[in-house]
């Protein structure tokens, strides 16, 4: 658990809570940007999100495609491999993913890991 606090270097507020033993992290978006391929600034997280039900609580979460590119840039394979596995199983918004890979300048060695993903709703 972490009470809400301002993180100057990231220009955002951050908090972490637990609900029935499940940890949730929250952050605000305090940076303007015209591109919607970012997880943590601009219109992307407001336009591309999923609503998750957790024991009757509805929580809006940023799309996994946007989260994936953040984890690529943070070089956290322990996280991006799990995201890739989920997207392989459930499909991805391929247009959004391609946009985010381009806008965020994801290196080819990481971008190639997304090849072979299928579109959500298609086998």
Q: What is the pLDDT of residue 123?
A: 61
- Global model pTM greater than 0.75: yes
Pairwise CA distance, residues 122 & 60, whole Å: 24
Sign of the dihedral defined by the CA atoms of residues 38, 39, 45, 47, in that order: positive
Read off the pLDDT of residues 22-80 as tens digits, 9 standing for 90 and up.
Answer: 888 877 766 677 887 777 777 777 888 888 887 788 888 889 999 999 999 999 999 99
The two tokens of residue 93 are: 């918004």
Given a cut of 90, whether residue 11 has pLDDT beyond it is: no
Q: What is the pLDDT of residue 87?
A: 96
The residues with which 23 forms a beta bridge, in sequence order, are 18
Pairwise CA distance, residues 106 & 109, whole Å: 8
* Percent of the chain topping pLDDT 70: 96
Ranges of each domain in the chain: 1-30, 31-114
């Amino acid at each position: 658990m972490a009470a809400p606090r301002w993180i100057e270097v990231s220009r955002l507020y951050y908090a972490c809570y637990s609900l029935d033993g499940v940890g949730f992290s929250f952050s605000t978006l305090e940076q303007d940007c015209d591109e919607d391929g970012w997880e943590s600034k601009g219109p992307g997280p407001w336009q591309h999100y999923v609503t998750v039900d957790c024991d009757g609580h509805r929580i809006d979460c940023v799309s996994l495609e946007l989260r994936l590119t953040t984890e690529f840039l943070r070089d956290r394979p322990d996280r991006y491999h799990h995201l890739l596995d989920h997207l392989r199983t459930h499909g991805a918004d391929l247009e959004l993913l391609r946009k985010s890979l381009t806008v965020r300048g994801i290196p080819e060695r990481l971008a190639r890991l997304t090849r072979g993903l299928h579109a959500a709703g298609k086998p």
